[in-house]
Structure 1
Amino acid sequence: MELRDRAEEFRLLIRDRDTKFTATFDEIFTAGGIRILKTPPRAPRANAFAERWIGSLRRELLDRIIIVNAHHLRRVLATYEIHFSEHRPHRSLGQAAPLRALPDPVEDDIKVIRRDRLGGLIHEYAQVA
């Protein structure tokens, strides 16, 4: 994938101050109209949110599936992103998903269905009305 093919989709690049990012690296993005923000110096927790997302993505998905090409990777990542935001329980949200609140408790017997995603790698459960 070439940056020039999708450069207009991006406005911002957030990166740390590692020496592996040279001035040439920055020039490539600024030439595409992308603004570069550097994390604060000596702030080890500045990348915590990104590292948490990447860690979850790697442990829950990429360590368990073989990616065959770029198109397959994009499809798998899009499916996981939807799962992560709409279905996956998050401890910090009281087991709710970021884009969906927990349903109200029900005292009656309920029927639950399971939907398999990514060939059964991920299971999503939903209450049937």
Structure 2
Amino acid sequence: MAERWVGTVRRECTDRLLIYGEGHLRRVLQAYERHYNPHRPHRSRDRRPPQPLHVPAPPTDLDQIRLQRRQVLDGLINQYQRAA
């Protein structure tokens, strides 16, 4: 399981960034971990995150939904949620 996480964090995060030192690496990994657990969907969980922040509403007409984008890791990753 740890090997899978290391591979995922390398492919999605650290392989796309220039890391400037140990402190920078720690901050990047902490930000990615905050994205990985509550937001990122996982195949083994039917495309649901392991620690969802809220229970998603049932699917509706996607043409009528307004989304809000939040950038993580200076735009490397985008998170989307329904706009209020």
TM-score normalised according to structure 1 size: 0.59
User: Given the alignment of the two structures, is residue 112 of structure 1 paired with residue 64 of structure 2, yes or no?
Assistant: no
Aligned length: 81
Moved more, 101-110 or 58-67: 101-110
- Superposition pairs for residues 1-129 of structure 1, below 5 Å? 49-100=1-52, 103-107=56-60, 109-129=64-84
Query: Equivalent pairs: percent with the same residue?
Result: 48
Distance 1:75 1:118, change over 3 A: same
**Structure 2 gaps, min length 5:** none
Distance 2:48 2:72 in 1: 19
TM-score normalised according to structure 2 size: 0.88
**Structure 1 gaps, min length 5:** 1-48
Cα RMSD of the aligned pairs, angstroms, is: 1.4
Aligned partner of residue 114 in structure 1, secondary structure: strand
Using CA pairs below 8 Å that are at least 6 residues apart, which structure has the higher relative contact order? 2
Structure 1 or 2, whichever has the larger Rg, is 1
